Amino acid sequence: MPSISNRLLLCILSAILVGSTTLTASTLDVVVDVVQLKGTNDETRWELHYSIPDTSLSYQLTSSGYRAVAELYLTIVTAYGDSLYDAWSIETESLERNPQHAGYLTGIRRLSLRPGQYSVTFAVHDRHDTTRRMTSSFQSTVRNFGRTVSMSDVVFTRKGDASDTSFKRGDLVILPNPRHECIGDDPALDFYFEVYDVNKYGVDTVLLEFRLHDYVNENVTQSYVKWGINKDIIGRRFTLPVPTFPSGVYKLVTVLRSYRDSVELFTAEDRFYILNPTRPPEGRVLVSDEERFIVSEWYAMSPERTELQMQLAAIIASPLERVSMEKLTDTRSRQRFLYRFWGSRDPDPTTEINEALMDFRLRFERANAQYRNGQYVEGWKTDRGRILLKYGTPTQIDRFVQTLDTRPYETWYYQSVQGGAYFHFVDWQNTQNHQLVHSTAMGEIRNDNWYEQFAKAYSPDPFNPDRLKPNQR
């Protein structure tokens, strides 16, 4: 499963800046949101969503009234120096030279890009006032969706003209809301996303968990939606009412699970804003998240122990969390990640003990004590140690000693994993190191011929050592 993608939300002329943004002028209020979805032929659908208030532009008299025109320029440079360039314009009309705010000039620019790192420059010029212009430069890491279960970036949406086919996605017309704002005295959070390749793993129904966190990362509400999946690529629009929440910054956490066994497949996090005139922001005297981190065990942890804890966390981390972990280069950022990583898994934050962390550490000690061998001094690094850490204590373990016909092997069964999953470990080198050679669990090595190839005392081709490498896929 994954938690935050390489999502960019650039708020120009505001206090919230993500990425490296350079402004040549500060008179244009432009918000840019980069959204990524799975494409075809191993490419990614990279979309630039933009929003410009109609009052940010200057209006010029025409035969039919007053018109404002914005000229937009997009340049994308690959890691090899190749460039893509696009230019277009958008316009709006008014009966007045200085109209009242009525809406936003919103649009999408779509590209198909290969996964990798790109340099992006986006510029907006006011055609009628050359002093009003904006240039934003930032880096964009294009995701590799691959062929595993995944989810697109969340597209925040708004109500509008449903007949505008330029915003069509399948049978739906999805008008983007790049500002991620819910405005009004009865606001609702509208958004859209797609899920990919769930059917390939035998999952036909998923359970979506939506959690909303406030500005101090406290969970204020959660809801669930059951969703039948009948295609490799499927999208859907969702609405969450938020009328009782005070104005402020919030976070939407979306968790994609298998409905059958509640296995977590993917997780995404996105920030949004509520602007409710009837519910002003609330000030609370609270210990900040940073203050909690400073007094936690993670803050004082040595670099060596921090590195070990990162390796252990990677075993149970979601794919998206692992992507985030790979980008952490200094000890302090890793400590802060571990603090939040385990905090999000605490089943009861009101107690002083993190029960999930305690259970994990007990499994770690058990793995080191029971599965160490001549090859691995630390038992948690063995296949059995990793499976114990990742899935917990098996429901049943069947152990088979060496005979004239078979090598030593073990079969672990987990009743609570994906509706019932088996793990088969064989000590095929007779070193007391049982290696995982087959499992029915998603994401683990699969070899239906494991018994013939590894458990039998004599390989069908004993002179071919490549036949004796269970970790080859």
> Helix (H, G, I), strand (E, B), or coil: what is residue 169?
strand
- The answer for residues whose C-beta is within 8 angstroms of residue 76's C-beta and 6 or more apart is 83, 84, 85, 111, 113, 118, 119, 120, 121, 140
The CATH number of the domain covering residues in 147-282: 2.60.40.2550
Which pLDDT score is estimated for 8?
A: 54
Residues of the chain with pLDDT under 70: 1-27, 160-163, 283-287, 459-473
Residue 82: CB atoms within 10 Å: 9
Show the tokens assigned to 233.
């690529």
* Residue type, position 355, single letter: E
Which pLDDT score is estimated for 3?
A: 40
CATH 3.20.20.210 fits 26-143, yes or no: no
Which pLDDT score is estimated for 293?
A: 87
> Helix (H, G, I), strand (E, B), or coil: what is residue 237?
strand
Which pLDDT score is estimated for 146?
A: 87
Which pLDDT score is estimated for 27?
A: 63
Which pLDDT score is estimated for 161?
A: 65
Same fold, 26-143 and 147-282: yes
Which pLDDT score is estimated for 19?
A: 33
Residue 130: is it exposed, middle or buried by C-beta count within 10 angstroms (0-12/13-18/19+)? Answer: exposed
In angstroms, what CA-CA distances link 377 with 111, 385, 433, 471? 50, 12, 11, 20
Which pLDDT score is estimated for 16?
A: 31
Q: What is the CA radius of gyration of the chain?
A: 27
Parse the chain into domains and list their residue ranges.
26-143, 147-282, 289-345, 383-471
- In 149-263 the beta strands, taken as DSSP E runs, fall at 150-151, 155-158, 168-169, 172-173, 175-176, 181-183, 188-196, 205-213, 219-228, 233-241, 248-258
Work out whether strand 104-113 and strand 44-53 pair parallel, antiparallel, or are unpaired: antiparallel
- The answer for residues whose C-beta is within 8 angstroms of residue 320's C-beta and 6 or more apart is 1, 2, 3, 4, 5, 266, 267, 268
Which pLDDT score is estimated for 281?
A: 83
Which pLDDT score is estimated for 462?
A: 42
For the chain, what percentages of helix, strand and coil (3-state, to nearest 5) are there? 20, 40, 45
Which pLDDT score is estimated for 10?
A: 55
